């Protein structure tokens, strides 16, 4: 009985112990199943056995690989799920693990039931059982997300590396001591230091000019202490140094980077030499005339402002001028010739001025010169040198061009208004022009309102031309011996609505300056042709009456004079042989090539050509013989002194003989006295005009006898 009781107690104790063990195993299993990793036991009978068997695997494997535990533990499925590219490495690592007993740690890829690739980290320790069996107790963790993150980081780093290597800017990284850590290919190209030569060296000794190195090193120390620096986090322009010692401008952007708690600096450096060059070029273009290279209006005004702002009491002089008859060159020889003339004008000015003076092209053919710290005598000397220099003709497009300038001079003092000084110089220039070509004039108070008046008159003249505000006056041309009227000269007249009669000596230069002379001349030609043809066609009218019309140099050379004359003749019906076009001698000499072509075009229409103011130019007999001309008009300055001056009489006699030699008609201008008339007749002159016979009168004012009479006329008419 005792034995039975003892045995029953032992059984109960054993059962209790087994139950406790089973409960512990269950708790252990549940704990394992909650671990987010695969727990496994891989077993080999011995180290020499090359075949492992999975004897245990946790449920996490089913979630990870989508296979059941039984499937994973059957046959060799587990090993077949390892990525083919990793199989050999995994097998070798396991063999080493079982052979040496060293812990196993490896990362490889597996594929789940659906073919999805999974990265796993395998860590295991080796246990030797009493019977000699080897068990590898391992933990397999899904590290796919980590691997993908690492791959993304590597891709990002590779992308950054490629960006840095292929960047248009140099990339440089340094530590807090200024030692170079990174140096891309563009840095090597920019500074001439290969990467291997730059890495590990102080940046200051490579690219920073010597006088700036102390500042650079102090800036590094300051940032390490304060976390701020004058260049950090900003885009700045500094001077850099390349290996050859060349200095050049760079744009620098630098920022701090902490790597593992260690301070470094990264910088992008861009060579801006070309950009600076372009900026300088644009700045030069903004303040200089592109054609001549002289200062432009903006730069001239700025320098004038600065000169007048000085408080040293010195005077500032401004010389203002344009090129007389510049449009003749432009119209007659073409714009390229005009540009060539402006370039040569600029070059000639450069040879005449002091180093500190400023010559500017203000626009068109307008120029100005700024003389700083000057006086009236010096300014006048400069003006005289310029005028004298322009006496020498310019060589333009195989033509000799005589260009004159009329110069206005004005002065300013500290506190003067710059626009006012320029305006005064402009007014002085127009005053000089009224005195003739190639002269200078110093501004005085009497000219103060002249500039504004010029502007107003130009505007009014343009309106008068466009709206019929002008008139044509006619001065008869007579046969001197008989005083019979043979023709009339058409002359423009302007009666201003508020200012009254404006003399031709005032409004003709205005028309030239405002480029209105061509439409003005065209209008006079049209009106005169209609009027004279009306007289000729009237009953008992003077059917042989001739018409003379002045043609300005700009009309002759602007390119459409032949068409304008042809249109006027066609419109009026006037016989071309009855029309004489008067051209000044000066333009025929100074613009010989262009004027000859225009004259030949006019002659082809059948009209007559007269040289006006003959004797005031430099025509030679041989030159005259080549021109298609018909009439010489003796300038009134010679006629005025003919009765009292032997020289004047000799000049007139010579002109008459030239006319006779070349079979040209001669007309004496400005005949005002009987003595002049008598002297002209005795010298052989045939025709004349002047106040002795008749003043210029409107078409409705001319007495009938002036046009229809063939007898002597009363000089009082």
The whole-angstrom separation of Cα 669 and Cα 680 is: 11
pLDDT surpassing 80 at residue 443: yes
Kindly report the number of other CB atoms within 10 A of residue 228's CB atom.
Answer: 11
The answer to whether residue 680 is domain-embedded is yes
Q: What is the CATH classification number for the domain harbouring 191?
A: 3.30.450.20
The residues near 44 (Cβ < 8 Å, ≥ 6 apart) are 51, 52, 53, 98, 133, 134, 136
Tell whether 660 and 570 lie within a shared domain. Answer: yes
Tell whether 255 and 357 lie within a shared domain. Answer: no
CB 397 within 8 A of CB 592: no
User: What pLDDT band is residue 79 in, cutting at 50, 70 and 90?
Assistant: confident
Query: Closest Cα partner for 426 from 455, 387, 386?
Result: 455
Tell whether 558 and 668 lie within a shared domain. Answer: yes
The residues near 415 (Cβ < 8 Å, ≥ 6 apart) are 308
Tell whether 533 and 657 lie within a shared domain. Answer: yes
Tell whether 200 and 219 lie within a shared domain. Answer: yes
pLDDT surpassing 80 at residue 594: no
Residue 689: the pLDDT is 95
User: What pLDDT band is residue 46 in, cutting at 50, 70 and 90?
Assistant: confident
The whole-angstrom separation of Cα 272 and Cα 32 is: 66
Range(s) of the domain holding residue 245:
167-272
Query: Closest Cα partner for 594 from 400, 365, 437, 403?
Result: 400
Tell me the range of 280-284, 334-338, 410-414 where mean pLDDT is highest.
Answer: 410-414
pLDDT surpassing 80 at residue 306: yes
pLDDT surpassing 90 at residue 396: no
Both structure tokens of 661: 């030699």
The answer to whether residue 693 is domain-embedded is yes
Tell whether 486 and 525 lie within a shared domain. Answer: yes
Residue 8: the pLDDT is 57
With a pLDDT cut of 70, the percent of the chain lying above it is 87
Question: Considering the chain, what is the average pLDDT of its residues?
Answer: 85
Are β-strands 631-634 and 665-668 bridged in parallel, bridged antiparallel, or unpaired? parallel
Tell whether 243 and 314 lie within a shared domain. Answer: no
Tell whether 529 and 641 lie within a shared domain. Answer: yes
Residue 559: the pLDDT is 60
Q: Among 448, 469, 501, which residue terminates a domain?
A: 448
The answer to whether residue 69 is domain-embedded is no
The answer to whether residue 708 is domain-embedded is no
Residue 28: the pLDDT is 55
Report, as an integer, the average pLDDT of 14-39.
62
Residue 668: the pLDDT is 94
Residue 219: the pLDDT is 85
Per-residue pLDDT of 209-254, as tens digits, reads 999 998 888 888 888 788 777 778 788 889 999 999 999 999 998 8
Tell whether 476 and 566 lie within a shared domain. Answer: yes
pLDDT surpassing 70 at residue 166: no
Tell whether 299 and 358 lie within a shared domain. Answer: yes
Asked which of 11-25, 82-96, 349-363 is least confident by mean pLDDT, the reply is 11-25
Residue 712: the pLDDT is 44
pLDDT surpassing 70 at residue 180: yes
pLDDT surpassing 90 at residue 53: no
The answer to whether residue 543 is domain-embedded is yes
Q: Among 419, 448, 477, which residue terminates a domain?
A: 448
pLDDT surpassing 60 at residue 619: no
Please give the distance of CA 647 from its chain centroid, rounded to a whole number: 59
User: What pLDDT band is residue 32 in, cutting at 50, 70 and 90?
Assistant: low
Tell whether 226 and 343 lie within a shared domain. Answer: no
User: What pLDDT band is residue 617 in, cutting at 50, 70 and 90?
Assistant: low
The answer to whether residue 91 is domain-embedded is no
Q: Among 448, 479, 500, which residue terminates a domain?
A: 448
Report, as an integer, the average pLDDT of 517-526.
94
Per-residue pLDDT of 448-478, as tens digits, reads 656 566 778 888 999 999 988 999 999 999 9
The enclosing H or E element of 410 equals strand 405-412
Tell whether 515 and 418 lie within a shared domain. Answer: no
Task: Give 225-272 as a DSSP string.
Answer: HHS--SSBTSEEEEEEE-TT--EEEEEEEEEEEEETTEEEEEEEEEE-
Overall domain count for the chain: 4
The whole-angstrom separation of Cα 338 and Cα 328 is: 9
Distance, first Cα to last Cα, the chain? 187
The answer to whether residue 675 is domain-embedded is yes
The answer to whether residue 669 is domain-embedded is yes
């Amino acid at each position: 009985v005792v034995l039975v009781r003892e045995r029953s107690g032992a059984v109960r104790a054993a059962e209790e112990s087994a139950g406790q063990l089973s409960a512990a195993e269950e708790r252990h299993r549940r704990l394992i199943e909650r671990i987010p990793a695969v727990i496994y036991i891989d077993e080999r009978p011995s180290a020499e056995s090359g075949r492992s068997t999975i004897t245990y695997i946790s449920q996490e494997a089913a979630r990870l690989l989508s296979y059941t535990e039984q499937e994973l533990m059957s046959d060799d499925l587990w090993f077949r799920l390892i990525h083919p590219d990793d199989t050999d490495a995994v097998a070798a690592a396991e063999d080493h693990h079982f052979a040496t007993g060293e812990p196993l740690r490896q990362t490889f890829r597996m594929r789940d039931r659906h073919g999805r690739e999974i990265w796993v980290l395998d860590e295991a320790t080796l246990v030797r059982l009493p019977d000699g069996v080897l068990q590898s107790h391992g933990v397999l963790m899904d590290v796919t997300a980590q691997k993908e993150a690492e791959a993304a980081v590597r891709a990002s780093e590779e992308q950054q590396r490629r960006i840095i290597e292929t960047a248009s800017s140099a990339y440089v990284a340094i530590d807090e001591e200024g030692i170079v850590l990174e140096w891309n290919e563009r840095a090597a190209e920019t500074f001439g230091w290969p990467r291997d030569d730059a890495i590990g060296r102080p940046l200051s000794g490579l690219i920073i000019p010597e006088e700036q190195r102390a500042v650079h090193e102090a800036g590094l120390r300051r940032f390490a202490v304060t976390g701020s620096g004058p260049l950090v986090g900003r885009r700045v322009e500094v001077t850099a140094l390349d290996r050859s010692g060349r200095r050049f401008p760079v744009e620098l952007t630098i920022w701090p980077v902490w790597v593992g708690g260690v301070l470094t600096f990264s910088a992008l450096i861009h060579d801006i030499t070309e950009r600076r060059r372009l900026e300088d070029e644009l700045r030069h273009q903004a303040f200089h005339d592109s054609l001549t290279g002289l200062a432009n209006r903006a730069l001239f005004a700025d320098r004038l402002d600065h000169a007048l702002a000085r408080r040293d009491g010195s005077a500032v002089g401004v010389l203002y001028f344009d090129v007389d008859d510049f449009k003749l060159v432009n119209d007659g020889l073409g714009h390229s010739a005009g540009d060539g003339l402006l370039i040569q004008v600029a070059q000639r000015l450069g040879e005449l001025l002091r180093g500190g003076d400023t010559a500017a092209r203000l626009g068109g053919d307008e120029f100005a010169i700024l003389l700083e710290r000057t006086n009236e005598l010096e300014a006048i000397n400069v003006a005289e040198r310029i005028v004298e220099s322009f006496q020498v003709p310019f060589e333009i497009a195989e033509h000799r061009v005589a260009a004159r300038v009329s110069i206005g001079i004005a002065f300013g003092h500290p506190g003067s208004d710059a626009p006012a000084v320029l305006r005064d110089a402009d007014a002085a220039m127009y005053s000089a022009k009224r005195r003739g070509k190639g002269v200078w004039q110093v501004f005085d108070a009497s000219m103060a309102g002249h500039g504004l008046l010029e502007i107003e008159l130009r505007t009014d003249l343009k309106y008068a031309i466009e709206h019929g505000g002008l008139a044509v006056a006619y001065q008869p041309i007579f046969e001197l011996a008989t005083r019979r009227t043979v023709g009339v000269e058409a002359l423009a007249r302007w009666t201003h609505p508020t200012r009254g009669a404006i003399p031709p000596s005032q409004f003709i230069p205005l028309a030239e300056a405002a480029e209105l002379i061509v439409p003005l001349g065209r209008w006079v030609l049209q009106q005169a042709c209609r009027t004279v043809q009306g007289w000729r066609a009237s009953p008992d009218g003077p059917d042989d009456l001739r018409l003379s019309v002045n043609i300005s140099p700009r009309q002759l050379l602007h390119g459409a004079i032949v068409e304008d004359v042809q249109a006027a003749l066609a419109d009026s019906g006037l016989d071309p042989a009855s029309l004489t076009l008067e051209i000044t001698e000066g333009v025929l000499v100074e613009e010989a090539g262009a004027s000859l072509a225009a004259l030949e075009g006019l002659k082809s229409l059948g009209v007559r050509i007269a040289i006006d103011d003959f004797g005031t130019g430099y025509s030679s007999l041989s030159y005259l013989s080549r021109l298609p001309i018909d009439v010489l008009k003796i300038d009134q300055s010679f006629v005025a002194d003919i009765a009292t001056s032997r020289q004047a009489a000799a000049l007139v006699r010579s002109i008459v003989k030239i006319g006779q030699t070349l079979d040209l008609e001669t007309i004496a201008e400005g005949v005002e006295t009987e003595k002049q008339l008598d002297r002209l007749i005795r010298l052989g002159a045939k025709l004349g005009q002047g106040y002795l016979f008749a003043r210029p009168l409107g078409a409705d004012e001319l007495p009938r006898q002036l046009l229809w009479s063939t007898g002597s006329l009363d000089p009082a008419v």
